[in-house]
Amino acid sequence: MAEQRVLVVGGGLAGLAAAMKLAELDVAVDLMSLVPVKRSHSACAQGGINSVNDTTRQQGDSEYHHFDDTVYGGDFLQHQPPVKEMTDWAPRIIDLMDRLGVPFNRTKEGFRDQRRFGGTLYKRTAFAGATTGQQLLYALDEQVRRCHANGKVNTFEGWDFLGPIIDDDGRCRGATAQNLVTMEIRAFPADAVVLATGGCGLIFGRSTMSMACTGSAASRSVQYGAHYANGEFIQVHPTAIPGADKLRLMSESARGEGGRVWVPRRPQDSRAPRDIPEEERYYFLEERYPKYGNLVPRDIATREIFNVCVNEGLSVEADKQCVYLDLTHISREELDRKLGGILHIYEKFQGVDPRIEPMKIFPAVHYSMGGMWADYERTAEGGLAPDAPRNHQTNIPGLYAIGECDYQYHGANRLGANSLLSCIFTGLFVGPCIQSSIESLGESASDAKFDLLLRAERSRKEMEHKQLLERPAGGENPYLIHQELGQEMTKAATVVRRNDQLTAALDKVSELHERARNCSLSDTGMWTNQNVMFTKNLLDMFPLAKALLKGALARDECRGAHYKPDFDMPGVESQDPGERRRQAEMWCDKFEEKNRKWLKTTVASFDAHGEPTLSYEDVDTSLIPPRPRLYGIVGGDIIEQVWKERSISQSDPTKPAEQSGNGAAETSRSPVPATS
């Protein structure tokens, strides 16, 4: 048997963590990345990374609370065992990153400092300035460089993953990839392929994501039969700086320090903002939410900003959606002291001083909670079985998915500072699982018997490439189609979703898909042809875009980031105690009904043309029973009371609250039988 190898696709936090862990286990690793790994999108994360720590533990915090916050924040759409495992690992992961030299901010005594983030009461978030993602990424990049220097990891930077190579038994035996410089197409034999390829923000045209986040690797895998889950769950950040090329994040701390959000009452008032008198300004968040004002939760802020621009037509500018985020009433000294860093970013990219002129901001697509469907093996305690080959394996044996490109950890909504954690955790955790997987194979993808398979797949990709280059001139322009796709997706499938709009968008996207098949290239060369690579990426955006739209259209409820006003559940308005009680009971009935119907993972499978078909599977909620998210809802107190009474009466005192072991949810959740 030839030496067994693992191919890790993607050099962000998850991919690097997996590569370094595998190298430590003495598994030969090929690490492939579109960009030099140090330039991966993980560098963009600012806030921090969550874990229980010595301080919060003494305030009553525990791994369980972190687990609970994550599940509650995600509106219970996650399978709970992987989340539990992740939150259990979290303190160890921060310790490891600390050992690797990450310059975490320090207390006076020299301990790691922590800050509080959304969705929790504890100061759980370790951070390194305003660039935690960058610092964590570099620490792993350095370790992988060390592995590379020791000959344990081969790195292939500047390669684009074209698809998995699957043998007749349905097992993944490697991948094809194309070099972005030489345009060479190569088949990489691998006994396991790990996709750590991040999110798919570019489907929305512009987002807070990097230009490499096209989702194409995931799309190319689903076109080979892998499943995609919860695609409709996309996190939209309320405040981003709109740019012609990208939407850049503006931290929530701007509002935290007193920033006020407003629009002129007269639509597209042409006066300079400071010339608009106070009474002609519409501070819509403060007026509609007198209690929380500008600090309403993220999803509400996002919806209101979106609503005021799109539905009420009050955007500050006629041709661009945006509202004012105003800090000009705060003294320059105070701003520089508290917000210097982020104001500097605005100034740098907009060329305008936010201390003098209000910032113009708009919500932007930020994170894909959904992703490649991946499996796990549960232990009796409710965690993940270590070393189990099924963990993080997609429905194609030998093909794994980790990091943002898998769907397992964030449910319907991701908590701030949990994404860095899930990336590093999955990378480290999957290492031993893959090792035990390939050890059980007894053969290597580099064995001569797979030569033909590998060569055939490479020829197929070369053929496809050649056909694309030979398209007749005068066809569609891929860049313009991408713009149209982005506009369509942003309009229909971001903040507020309506079934009529989603249906129309689905038609429009299908039409764009057809047109995209007729793209012609302005560059037909065979050297560093970015034109052809872009066109390939564009074509592969459509299957995921369709899955996303279909998933959103089908899911007639509100859950986490997925908001459909037609299916919203308003709170309890009545003041009369008896009526309040009755309404709360009704509310809880509706909530239970909604969960029965929709507390399910959306699983998309695709045909050869990239058309998705949806199915649903149950969610393992055996560790923490679902409960309503009542943050900010009218009459939340009475609903909570009724819900508590119900859950006490429902749980049989003779049985433990937890469902026993690998329950029904476990067996029904896998859309295909696990074969390994």
Partner 1 sequence: MTATAPKRESFDVRILRQSGPGEESRWETFRIPYEPNLNVISVLQKIAATARTAEGTATTPVAWDCNCLEEVCGACTMVINGRVRQSCSALVDKLLAESPGEIELQPMSKFPVVRDLVVDRSRMFRALERVQAWVPVDDYYDRGGGPNVPQELQEQRYPLSECMTCGCCVEACPQYGKVEVHRRPNESQESYEQRQAEAEEGQFLGAAAISQTMLFNDHATGGMIAAERLDALTASGGIQECGNAQNCVAVCPKEIPLTTSIARAGRKTTWHMIKKWFDR
Give catalytic residues, as residue numbers: 298
Q: Does 112 bind partner 1 (CB under 8 A)?
A: yes
Residue 524: count other Cβ atoms within 10 Å of its Cβ.
14
Question: Residues 6 or more apart from 485 whose CB is under 8 A from it?
Answer: 203, 205, 509, 512, 538, 541, 542, 545
Q: Which stretch binds partner 1 (CB under 8 A): 65-73, 146-154, 565-573, 635-643?
A: 146-154
Binding residues for partner 1 restricted to 386-445, rule: CB under 8 A: 428
Nearest to 250 by CA among 298, 306, 184, 192: 298
CA dist 388 and 375 (Å) reads 10
Q: Does 221 bind partner 1 (CB under 8 A)?
A: no
Binding mask 307-336 for partner 1 (x = CB under 8 A): ------------------------------
Longest CA pairwise span in the chain (Å): 79
The residue written with tokens 């009466």 in the block is: 649
Smallest gap from residue 400 Cβ to partner 1 (A): 18
Smallest gap from residue 3 Cβ to partner 1 (A): 16
Smallest gap from residue 208 Cβ to partner 1 (A): 8
Question: Residues 6 or more apart from 452 whose CB is under 8 A from it?
Answer: none
Smallest gap from residue 159 Cβ to partner 1 (A): 9
Among 109, 169, 278, 568, the residue binding partner 1 under the rule CB under 8 A is 109
Nearest to 405 by CA among 386, 427, 433: 427
Q: Does 212 bind partner 1 (CB under 8 A)?
A: yes
Q: Which is nearer to partner 1, 17 or 588 (CB)?
A: 17
Binding residues for partner 1 restricted to 516-535, rule: CB under 8 A: 522-523, 525, 527-528, 530-531, 534
Per DSSP, the three-state class of 24 is helix
Three-class SS string for 571-584?
CCCCCCHHHHHHHH
Question: Residues 6 or more apart from 492 whose CB is under 8 A from it?
Answer: 501, 502, 504, 505, 549
Among 2, 3, 36, 256, the residue binding partner 1 under the rule CB under 8 A is 36
Binding mask 246-285 for partner 1 (x = CB under 8 A): x-xx------------------------------------
The residue written with tokens 């004002």 in the block is: 293
Among 4, 87, 210, 393, the residue binding partner 1 under the rule CB under 8 A is 210
Q: Which is nearer to partner 1, 270 or 654 (CB)?
A: 270
Measured at the CA of 141, the angle between CA 138 and CA 145, to 5 degrees, comes to 135
CA dist 7 and 19 (Å) reads 9
Query: Could you tell me whether strands 28-33 and 114-115 are parallel, antiparallel, or unpaired per DSSP bridges?
Result: unpaired
Q: Which is nearer to partner 1, 490 or 621 (CB)?
A: 490
- For partner 1 (CB under 8 A), the number of binding residues is 77
Binding residues for partner 1 restricted to 623-642, rule: CB under 8 A: none
Measured distance between the N- and C-terminal CA atoms of the chain, rounded to whole angstroms: 20
Smallest gap from residue 60 Cβ to partner 1 (A): 22
Q: Helices 478-493 and 499-516 sit at what angle, rounded to 10 degrees?
A: 170
Smallest gap from residue 222 Cβ to partner 1 (A): 24
Contact in structure between 105 and 39 (CB atoms under 8 Å): no
CA dist 210 and 42 (Å) reads 9
Per DSSP, the three-state class of 211 is coil
The residue written with tokens 């819900």 in the block is: 643
Binding mask 439-478 for partner 1 (x = CB under 8 A): --------------------------------------x-
Question: Residues 6 or more apart from 548 whose CB is under 8 A from it?
Answer: 203, 231, 232, 234, 370, 489, 493
Among 125, 134, 422, 435, the residue binding partner 1 under the rule CB under 8 A is 134
Smallest gap from residue 253 Cβ to partner 1 (A): 17
Smallest gap from residue 348 Cβ to partner 1 (A): 5
Binding residues for partner 1 restricted to 168-187, rule: CB under 8 A: 179, 181-182
Strand order from edge to edge, sheet including 371-372: 371-372, 228-229, 600-606, 612-618
Q: Which stretch binds partner 1 (CB under 8 A): 242-250, 281-289, 394-402, 638-646?
A: 242-250
Q: Does 149 bind partner 1 (CB under 8 A)?
A: yes
Q: Which is nearer to partner 1, 68 or 88 (CB)?
A: 88
Among 70, 131, 394, 622, the residue binding partner 1 under the rule CB under 8 A is 131
Among 57, 64, 98, 594, the residue binding partner 1 under the rule CB under 8 A is 98
Q: Which stretch binds partner 1 (CB under 8 A): 109-117, 259-267, 488-496, 587-595?
A: 109-117
One-letter amino acid identity for 295? L
The tokens of 163 are what? 């698809």
Q: Does 644 bind partner 1 (CB under 8 A)?
A: no
Q: Does 480 bind partner 1 (CB under 8 A)?
A: yes
Q: Which is nearer to partner 1, 356 or 456 (CB)?
A: 356
Binding residues for partner 1 restricted to 151-170, rule: CB under 8 A: 154, 156-157
Q: Does 33 bind partner 1 (CB under 8 A)?
A: no
CA dist 498 and 32 (Å) reads 40
Q: Does 143 bind partner 1 (CB under 8 A)?
A: yes
Binding mask 43-62 for partner 1 (x = CB under 8 A): xx------------------
